Structure 1
Amino acid sequence: MRFDHLSVRQKLWALVVGLILALSVLMGVLLSHMLTLTDETARSVAFSEQRITLAVRWRGLVALARPGGAGL
């Protein structure tokens, strides 16, 4: 069947269905990209928190090792 033989109603429905499919595919791609960004951000935050914890721990150890005790 050729496209010219379809009624206007069928052409409009084909357009609507095509747009819905295209937007669904786009939504899937964007969701996948968003999940990747979320994972990268979570790793970055965990790394930063680990470094902050280590820095605070070292600060406390240095303060204890100073002559005179725990004062900064």
Structure 2
Amino acid sequence: MCALLGGCTTQPTLKPLCPPLVAYGHEQQTALAQELRTHPDLKEVPLFLTDYANERNELRAACRS
């Protein structure tokens, strides 16, 4: 009987725990872009940074839900 009644209750809405994102200032982003332009031999770093940016965007979206 309890199992049947338990199915009638509303389930709580689960919200993910969101760690704080590090805020990068305009100067830091400009310095990073300059370093990447200065070292065109760094092939993998831009790929990692793109993945990191995508993960940050997904985390922001998940935390707004």
Q: TM-score normalised by the shorter chain: which range applies?
A: 0.3 to 0.5
Question: Going by fraction, where is helix more abundant, 1 or 2?
Answer: 1
Q: Which structure ranks higher in relative contact order (CA pairs < 8 Å, sequence separation ≥ 6)?
A: 2
TM-score where L is the length of structure 2 = 0.37
TM-score where L is the length of structure 1 = 0.34
Which has the greater radius of gyration? 1
